[in-house]
Every structure is written in structure tokens, then in C-alpha cells.
Amino acid sequence: MTTFQEYLDQVKPIVDARICEVASRKLRDDYLVRLLMRGKRLRAGLLSLVFESTSGKSLDGTVDLACAVELAHSASLIIDDMLDEDEMRRGMPTVHMTEGQKRAMLDTVGILSLPYDLVVPYGERFVQSLAATQRGMVSGVLKEILHDPELPASKIYDLIIKQKTGKPFGLAASWGYLAGLDGKKKGANGQLQKWTAYGMHVGKAMQIADDIADLDEVMRTRKKAGVGSELLLLRCVTAERLAKELFSDIRRMTLHFEKARELWSREGVQESLRLKLQKEITSAQETILDLRLPRSANRNLLFAAPDEIAKIMLAGSK
């Protein structure tokens, strides 16, 4: 095994099987089960890799934790799709498009119950951290919707992606580390914080890469629906006046593609986006070096994972 994708290919079927089992039994809705079965499982893969790297054990003891992270993520996507007016998700029509917004909201509540069922056996600490992460994700969405347009775009964007995407990845990495301790010891001082920071940087890199991919789609397809944080990212690396005009247009759903393309085609803009992405990848990799793990194949995978996850998002669709 030489790549994170190859590692993920081993983890995904195990996580998929457990999610199918739990969702089929507790939700009893074939459409939702099919929807929940289509994720990339990046968070689950990261959790499992951290667990195996720090404990020396196999994934078996953390499958339910990996599934809980993925199910919490899937529930958030239903809401995210409604807010962004997305029509497709994971190759299927979004829930609110096929079932209506009322049903989508009810389905979200049903899915959100599943992670807690799975986490309870691991103890109060895991339940509380899941709840705190979900509150943080809501905070990120609110910042995206209600932010002060006079604040610097880069500050707003960083706050949003830290809460919406960074924290769930940070949760996955921290759970992987804590599960490896198995309640027998507290762990080295500061290790938990470092693993959480590692996951946070991986998540932010993933989101930046996803937003870059979405920006490219906006420019190529004249996409109007489903426009979210990607335009705010564009504001981070372009002239404020034109970018503010564009962002105001987006909020009024009167997107002027000429403005968008003018920003996109300016010299250095796409390179600035890549540098912003690379900053998070490098921060994650520096955290792995700071953890001073023994040299192993898993340590190499942890080091390579941020870059590989970013490439997965740049190459693929939602």
C-alpha cells in the first residue's frame, strides 16, 4: 500500500457495510440508505489511519466511530444543499429536490440521531465532542450566511471553513487518537491537541480544494445554483472592489459571469488559490513531523494524506 487512496479503498467497504446496516435498520428508507452509501469516506479514512498509526491495532475497534463521523457529515450536507440550492449530490438529486424541503429537514433530524447511537458506547467524552463539533459547524454556516461584508474576505473565509470542515476532520483525527488509548492512559501531553490540529488543517485543505474545483465549474458552466463559499474564496485573492460587487450579485442571485471571469482570468489569481491551499497542506504535514512518530508506512501516509485528499477534491465532483 503506497497511497492514501489505496488505504481508503480498504476502509470504505467496511464503513459502507456498517452504515448500510445501521441506516437500513433505523431509518427504514431505501432512498436515504442509498444516499448515505455514496460518500468518499475521507473523514473515516483519516480517523482509521490515525488510530492504526498510534495504537498499532486494526480498524475493527473504531468502525462505529468512523461511521458516526460520516453520518454526521452526511446529515449536514442535506442542510447545506438546501441553503446553497444545489440540485445534485453524490451523483443523485438532492433530498430537497426530490422530497421537498419539509421532508429534507425531517430526514436530517433522523440521520443526526444515528451518530449518537454509535458513539454512546465509547463514553461521555466522545458524545460531548460530537455535540460540540456539530454546534461549531452550525456556527460556520451562520457566518457564511450572515457575515459582515466589511470584514476582510480572508478572515471570514478562514472562520467559515474552520468551523464547517476543519472541525469535523479535527474530530476524526482526535477520535482516532483517543480510541487508540483505549481509556488506559491519558496520552502524551499535547498529543491530542496536535492530532486535532492536524485534522483541522487536512479539513481546511480539503475545503479549499473543493472550492477551487467549484469555482472552475462556475466559470465553465455558468452555474448559478449551488454557489457558496467558493466565491468568498475568490474574493480572498482578488481586488476587493470588483470582488465585492460580484459577491453582492451572487447574494441577489444576479450573477454576472463577465465579472466572475474577469476575476478568474487575472494574472496570478489561480496561483494565489493554489498557494492558499498549499499553506494548509504544509501546516498539516508540519504537524505530523512535530508529532515525531516512528518511521513507518502509516507515518508516510499521514504525511501524504493532506495533499492526496486535496487532489481527490480537485479531480472529482461532489
Nearest to 67 by CA among 28, 129, 20: 20
Q: DSSP per residue over 139-200, as a string?
A: HHHHHHHH--TTS-HHHHHHHHHIIIIIHHHHHHHHHHHHHHHTTS---STTHHHHHHHHHH
CATH number of the domain bearing residue 225: 1.10.600.10
- Inter-residue long-range contacts of 276-282, CB under 8 Å, 24+ positions, other chains counted: 276/208, 276/233, 276/236, 276/237, 277/205, 277/208, 277/209, 277/212, 277/310, 280/201, 280/202, 280/204, 280/205, 280/208, 280/306, 281/201, 281/205, 281/306, 281/307, 281/310
Residue 28's SS3 state is: coil
H/E segment holding residue 249:
helix 240-251
Per-residue pLDDT tens digits of the chain, which is 318 residues long: 589 999 999 999 999 999 999 999 998 788 888 889 988 999 999 999 999 998 888 887 899 999 999 999 988 888 777 776 777 776 677 777 776 778 778 888 889 999 999 999 999 999 999 999 998 888 766 666 665 666 677 888 888 899 889 999 999 999 999 998 865 555 566 899 999 999 999 999 999 999 998 888 777 765 555 456 777 787 777 655 555 555 555 544 445 556 666 666 666 788 889 999 999 999 999 999 999 998 888 999 999 999 999 999 998 744
CB 144 within 8 A of CB 160: yes
Q: Are strands 92-93 and 88-89 parallel, antiparallel or unpaired?
A: antiparallel
**Cα three-residue angle 2-284-153, rounded to 5 degrees:** 130
Count of domains forming the chain: 1
CB 263 within 8 A of CB 122: no
CB 174 within 8 A of CB 216: no
**Residues spanned by the domain of 267:** 4-315
